[in-house]
Amino acid sequence: MFAKLLGSSPDAGPQQDGRPFLNEGREDSGGLDVSLESSDLPSVTKQDSKASKESIPPLPDIGAGVGALPEEGTPADAPPSSRSIKNLFKEGALKAAAAAKDGAAQEEGPVDVSEANAEIKVNSLEELCLPPEQSRDAQAAWAAFCNSGESREAAGEAIYSALFEGAPSLQSLFTTPRAVQAMRFMTGLNSFVQVLDAPPQLKILAETLGFGHLNLDVTVPRVVIFRDAILDLFDVELGASFTSDAREGWKMMLNYIGGAIIFVRNHYSDRLRILSESWAEASGKGRDKNAAAAAAAKAQQQQQQEQGGSGEASGEASSGGAGGGAGDGDYQDDGAPKSKRKMSFFRGMFKRKRDAGDGQGLSGGLSSPRGASGSPSQSPRGDGSDEHGEDAKKNFKKSAGGTTYAEMFHFNMAVMGLQSKTWMLEVLRSFDNIVSNVSNSARLQQECEVLALKISKSKGSASVNLAEYKSCMLAALRSALPKVWDSSYEVAWNWLWDNVERLLRKTLGSPQVWEAALARMMDSVTEDQLFEIRKSIYEQFFAAAPVGQDYFKQSNTRLHFIANRVLQMTLEIFKDPWQMVDDISALGLRHVGYAIPTELFGPFVTACIQVLNNENKDPDTIEGFRWALGLISKMLVTTINEGSTIVMKAINVNSTRMLKKAVSCAPRGQRATWLLLVQVGTQSISPLEWALQSGSVACAEAILNDLLTIRADRERYYYGMEELFARHPDIVAQLCAEGTDLLFTLMDGLAWRSRGTVNGMRRVNYYVKYLIHDHEKNFADALSHLVACKEPKIFQHPTVNIVSDTLWEKIVCWNFGYSKIWFVVSIFVFMMGQAILPKLHNKDEFWVRASVFGCRMFNYIFTMFRLAARHTREIVWAFRHGDVKRFARIPVPSYLLEGYEGGIFLLCILFILMCCNEPMLYCAQDERFPIEDCPASEHVLFRYSLFVMWGMLAHWMLLTDMAVFSTGLSAFVLVCGHVLWEIALFLIALLFVLLMFASAITVLEHSYKDMHHVGGSAVALFAITVRVYEDDYRDFQEDKLLLLMVFVFVVASAILLLNVLIAQLNCSYVYVYQNMVGFARLRRAEVICETLGEDCPMQQWNRFVESLGLETPLEFNAGDVGFAGGLTTEELGTLTSINTETIVRYGGSCSPDLQWPEDTTVGEEEEMAAKYDRMERLVQRALKKLAHSAGSSKARHSKLSGAGSPGAGNSKLSGEDSGTISDSGSSAGSHLSDG
């Protein structure tokens, strides 16, 4: 009904949000009015309309968001807790004014129908041309109304309340959530007011709204009720500023809109219904939904039988443990479609595309070469290759008779000999979007313009005969719908194609000419000319729309880059329209996050065209640039408006309160989707990801908490874990990059703890499925990102502990142990051959010498060569792939800078040096061989022993890596390693002090012989420092100055440096001790990632994953079967205090399409913040009214400050003003008492 003026669209209409192109009966258009000559772009300026009458395609404000309604049984929202614009006095006036009009209007009798029909034209739809003063005053009144509240949301609430509370007969139609519907009112009314002085665009908007209300019984009396409610609201809010011209302008506009809705419903509803229903059947979408719903119902019934009819268990089986899996909302539980079911606008916007081959576009709009999954579905160059078409042909051949429109179309192409017409395949790919937007003239025009571009890039585009497609289309539809096809279907589809053909013919043949002209222009302009063009664009844009400067705040170089990219895009869209459709959708979604007003696109496009028109006089270049830039701007506006959800708006201001209010409107089955997906065509943006990237940490935390809150009704559990990791498999990596604080929020949400305990133990479920493996059952990289984060505290979290312990105990421990066996054998053989056997008392016996030689050869052959081969391979790979880092300006492979790998490489080098200096090899010619002590080896014995010593140290240092088997031992080793740096700093300082005093003492004339040179002095001073010096201080008594220098050194080293070292070690140990277990678990996690990434066979990993039983639903309590995806364990009940039930349970209806009941449990801090905000708004409102009540600025200052100037007459308020202030005070008092 008309009360849903801007917010609802029925299932009967094939497209939920669009503009009509159906204008039959018009004398001027002959059935279709989508003229390209109008240039009334949305603007934020008030310039003369003549200045914008350039040849620019219309850029209508499609932000009206004509969405669908929820099902009829949905209760309306309760009235708001605070009146953000109307005070209590005004509410009473509005209700009193509306009651007289609405009281008898329930039966629609008392309304003067003859007078209303004279004002509201329902038998024709012509352009509404208002006098300039009326349109100007009406726009000014709307601006004043929007500015009267603290926000647009508050103004929307006022309109909603005026209709809901002031017109009881319309309350049954308010089924859309209050917050959503209020913003639709504001956005829709704003779009009408913006084009009030542009009759062609106003007509398009009115027709579009009519197609969105085809299922509602809109009558003249109801239009009158709605109109009068709006006018009464403006009377009360604006008072005398709502002039007679403004009132007449609004009255005529609302009458015009109401008449348009009735006219469209009377003339086109049946035809559009036929197109919608027949296309759903012919394309196979309806059958797919029926089959999916029947399968879901059957699976649910089977699981109910298996679990003994448990409501919770069966609900969980149908939902898969998540809100998104609660079943298809378009069908009842028995699999039958709901009759005339209405879907909310945002659910329709977020709904994922089901077929990748159906040519996705801007939310079902602009067609694209990629499906929802992003995989190519057609040749981007229009060469005739068509995977979707080939699949259809194969399926058709297999079934010996096609069943869908695509299959029958390919068959008829073959029968008619049109296989070589590759342009027909382009039309086929875009046909679903064309039919889906049949009631949206603006969107249909965009689809046809993009389709014309694609046809122009196809082979054989010079000989396009659109009648050939019509023949194949009708033949395919007759074959796909043999039982229902009749003359009405024939008329409807002929009517559709005639309008599409008319749109295509306007553009076909021109893109080639425009592309060549633009290419010549781009090649001919110099860099200086481009600079002046870009500069002039911004000068004209800022002059036309000064508010645009608030959004273009980057440097001049960045602004020139943007303008240059705009110029390039106008040419690129001709060259590769397939890729550009995706790129423009992605660009529009980025602008959603930037909160760019769509009203700025109009002035920007106008400025670009005017500048280019001054620089270039070629008509083809100007027309091509105008056409391309207009198409791009309309596509961007479409994307921004469809992507600007109430969730995104809350994120842009980083308001958790707005976010909670926005998501409370979501159906329980799609609540997670609202928080994770904004889909526009083939491109999408994630509100959660944008909150992280834009720094809205509060909103990101609120989103994570909402997603990971377990909610339940009697049939299903709703938990957003599945949707979260399906949408963001790398969520852990994103949180590590943006801020580790949110990691704890994520880990807390993945754990459920029972409120009660049994024998002192509490049941805990950890839903860590996607922390262990990804969707392909491979090892998840979540733990690797946590390791790279180097945050020890996160590894002390129980959720991370259960992941690392499970991986370590069940798979990694054994693999890691096996990998270390060879190293243990190597160090044992090395010890035997270097430190044990050569030191035996019978070392000269032959068997001992042979054993020593065998041990050394074993190390050289099996250890040295193995390590050398491995590191050679790793180093070559690193240099080939550029995985190197600079160390002292020398390129070093990155892996060698890791502690353990660097130690292994050093050990390999030492083995090579030992092999080169092996004494037994030098004595190979000796008759006593094997022996190492011979004349030939005398010169290498010391070098060899030195290398062996360092090799022995390296072996034992590397052996500490096995401390990871024990968390306690590993923690101690890590503590020792952590404090080594403090000792190193002490030694550096001590060395400096030693050299300083040693050199000073050396040059001093004294008789103490041990300190006559620098080396001896340094050794003596160091011995004094560590208290191992053998001489006595009395030896220095003869040299008083030397004794003084020694005492000063002792103070500096033994007293100062040693005590500083102790203090540093103490502080460092305290820090490490607090996170000691975290560091130990971090080291174990590193080993887990290295082992699973290199040494784990896939077959063993698959067995491990199956043994976890992650696909088995877990119980919450006895008999309460929940959802799968986790591990269950028990912990001491004293570790965590659980005072409330962590699962939020609700009664009532269990339909996934309903919202969750409003959460009445508001935190104390949030409640106090809301009270303070209310008080602040009341004070601001009172001050504003006081400021307006005075007759002059001096008197106004006197009233606000409360003190008059001496000698000046005190101005007194009139009775009317006094009453206003009194009412304001009483209103404020009542609000404060409520608070």
* Distance from C-alpha of 610 to C-alpha of 587, rounded to nearest angstrom: 24
**What is the Rg, in whole angstroms, of the alpha carbon atoms belonging to the chain?**
40
Q: What is the pLDDT of residue 92?
A: 43
* Distance from C-alpha of 903 to C-alpha of 830, rounded to nearest angstrom: 17
Spell out a b/e string for 451-467, using b for 16 or more CB atoms within 10 Å of the CB, else e. Answer: bbbbbbbbeebeebebe
180 neighbors 667 (Cβ within 8 angstroms)? no
pLDDT at 1045 over 90: no
Measured in degrees and rounded to the nearest 5, phi and psi for residue 593 equal -65, -30
pLDDT at 53 over 50: no
* Distance from C-alpha of 893 to C-alpha of 870, rounded to nearest angstrom: 13
* Distance from C-alpha of 248 to C-alpha of 255, rounded to nearest angstrom: 10
Write out pLDDT tens, residues 492-551: 898 889 888 888 888 888 899 999 999 999 888 889 889 999 999 999 999 988 888 888
* Distance from C-alpha of 294 to C-alpha of 731, rounded to nearest angstrom: 34
**Beta strands 751-758; 717-718: pairing state:** unpaired
* Distance from C-alpha of 555 to C-alpha of 567, rounded to nearest angstrom: 19
Q: Which residues, at least 6 apart from 275, have a Cβ–Cβ distance to it below 8 Å?
A: 14, 435, 438, 492, 493, 496
1112 neighbors 1124 (Cβ within 8 angstroms)? yes
Mean pLDDT of the chain, nearest integer: 75
710 vs 1204, which has greater pLDDT? 710
Percent of the chain with pLDDT over 70: 73
800 vs 978, which has greater pLDDT? 800
Q: What does the block give as tokens for 1181?
A: 């409102």
User: Which residue type sits at 1145?
Assistant: R
Q: How many CA atoms lie within 13 A of 537 on its CB side?
A: 25
Mean pLDDT of 972-995: 85
Q: What does the block give as tokens for 623?
A: 């027309």
Q: What is the pLDDT of residue 773?
A: 92
**Beta strands 1120-1121; 1115-1117: pairing state:** antiparallel
1228 neighbors 1186 (Cβ within 8 angstroms)? no
pLDDT at 101 over 50: no
Counting beta carbons within 10 angstroms of the beta carbon of residue 1146, is it exposed (0 to 12), middle (13 to 18) or buried (19 or more)?
A: middle
Counting beta carbons within 10 angstroms of the beta carbon of residue 1206, is it exposed (0 to 12), middle (13 to 18) or buried (19 or more)?
A: exposed
* Distance from C-alpha of 395 to C-alpha of 389, rounded to nearest angstrom: 10
Q: What is the pLDDT of residue 275?
A: 87
* Distance from C-alpha of 1014 to C-alpha of 101, rounded to nearest angstrom: 109
Cα dist. 889→434, 782, 885, 905, 964 in Å?
A: 62, 34, 9, 20, 34
Q: Which residues, at least 6 apart from 254, have a Cβ–Cβ distance to it below 8 Å?
A: 223, 226, 227, 230, 231
Q: What does the block give as tokens for 633?
A: 């701007």
- 61 sits in which H/E element: none
pLDDT at 1208 over 80: no
Q: What is the pLDDT of residue 751?
A: 93
Which of 421, 437, 415 has the alpha carbon at shortest distance from 360? 437
Write out pLDDT tens, residues 377-396: 344 444 444 444 444 444 44
Mean pLDDT of 304-309: 46
1096 neighbors 726 (Cβ within 8 angstroms)? no
Spell out a b/e string for 1207-1228, using b for 16 or more CB atoms within 10 Å of the CB, else e. Answer: eeeebebeeebeebeebbeebb
Q: What is the pLDDT of residue 883?
A: 86
Counting beta carbons within 10 angstroms of the beta carbon of residue 913, is it exposed (0 to 12), middle (13 to 18) or buried (19 or more)?
A: middle
pLDDT at 1222 over 60: no
* Distance from C-alpha of 84 to C-alpha of 98, rounded to nearest angstrom: 20
Mean pLDDT of 441-460: 84
Under the banding of pLDDT at 50, 70 and 90, the label for residue 36 is very low
Mean pLDDT of 164-192: 69
Cα dist. 521→79, 255, 525, 624, 640 in Å?
A: 59, 49, 6, 11, 30
Which of 865, 965, 429, 503 has the alpha carbon at shortest distance from 682? 429
Write out pLDDT tens, residues 204-236: 888 777 766 765 677 888 888 888 888 888 888
616 neighbors 567 (Cβ within 8 angstroms)? no
Q: What is the pLDDT of residue 589?
A: 81
Query: Helix, strand, coil shares of the chain as percentages rounded to 5?
Result: 65, 5, 30
Under the banding of pLDDT at 50, 70 and 90, the label for residue 950 is very high
Q: What is the pLDDT of residue 116?
A: 53
Q: Which residue has the tokens 């008080």?
A: 1175
**Beta strands 761-766; 884-887: pairing state:** unpaired
Mean pLDDT of 300-322: 41
pTM of the model: 0.63
Which of 851, 1171, 1073 has the alpha carbon at shortest distance from 82? 1171
Under the banding of pLDDT at 50, 70 and 90, the label for residue 83 is very low
Beta bridge partners of 753: 764
The CA-CA-CA angle for residues 233, 235, 237, to 5°, reads 65
314 vs 702, which has greater pLDDT? 702
1234 vs 1155, which has greater pLDDT? 1155
pLDDT at 66 over 50: no
Q: Which residues, at least 6 apart from 947, have a Cβ–Cβ distance to it below 8 Å?
A: 910, 913, 914, 917
Q: How many residues can be counted in the chain? A: 1235
* Distance from C-alpha of 1001 to C-alpha of 1003, rounded to nearest angstrom: 6
Under the banding of pLDDT at 50, 70 and 90, the label for residue 791 is confident
Q: What does the block give as tokens for 928?
A: 């006593």
Q: What is the pLDDT of residue 1186?
A: 75
1091 neighbors 784 (Cβ within 8 angstroms)? no
Under the banding of pLDDT at 50, 70 and 90, the label for residue 1 is very low
Mean pLDDT of 111-122: 61
Give the number of other CB atoms < 10 A from CB of residue 717: 26
Q: What is the pLDDT of residue 402?
A: 55
- 763 sits in which H/E element: strand 761-766
Beta bridge partners of 762: 757, 1131
Mean pLDDT of 901-906: 89
pLDDT at 849 over 70: yes
Angle, helix 466-480 to helix 405-416, in steps of 10 degrees: 130
Write out pLDDT tens, residues 1106-1142: 999 999 999 888 888 889 999 999 988 888 888 777 8
Beta bridge partners of 307: none
Alpha-carbon torsion, ordered 988, 991, 996, 1001, to 10 deg: 170
Q: Which residues, at least 6 apart from 983, have a Cβ–Cβ distance to it below 8 Å?
A: 1061, 1065
Measured in degrees and rounded to the nearest 5, phi and psi for residue 344 equal -65, 155
545 neighbors 603 (Cβ within 8 angstroms)? yes
Q: What is the pLDDT of residue 316?
A: 35
Under the banding of pLDDT at 50, 70 and 90, the label for residue 948 is very high
* Distance from C-alpha of 854 to C-alpha of 862, rounded to nearest angstrom: 12
Write out pLDDT tens, residues 1085-1113: 988 998 887 778 888 899 999 999 999 99
Mean pLDDT of 449-468: 85
Query: What's the DSSP call for residue 832?
Result: I
Measured in degrees and rounded to the nearest 5, phi and psi for residue 568 equal -70, -35
Q: What is the pLDDT of residue 86?
A: 36
Cα dist. 852→155, 837, 860, 932, 952 in Å?
A: 93, 6, 12, 10, 16
Measured in degrees and rounded to the nearest 5, phi and psi for residue 683 equal -105, 155
Q: What is the pLDDT of residue 309?
A: 42
Q: Which range (351-365, 385-399, 631-645) has the least confidence?
A: 351-365
* Distance from C-alpha of 1023 to C-alpha of 1017, rounded to nearest angstrom: 10
Percent of the chain with pLDDT over 90: 16
* Distance from C-alpha of 1012 to C-alpha of 1004, rounded to nearest angstrom: 9
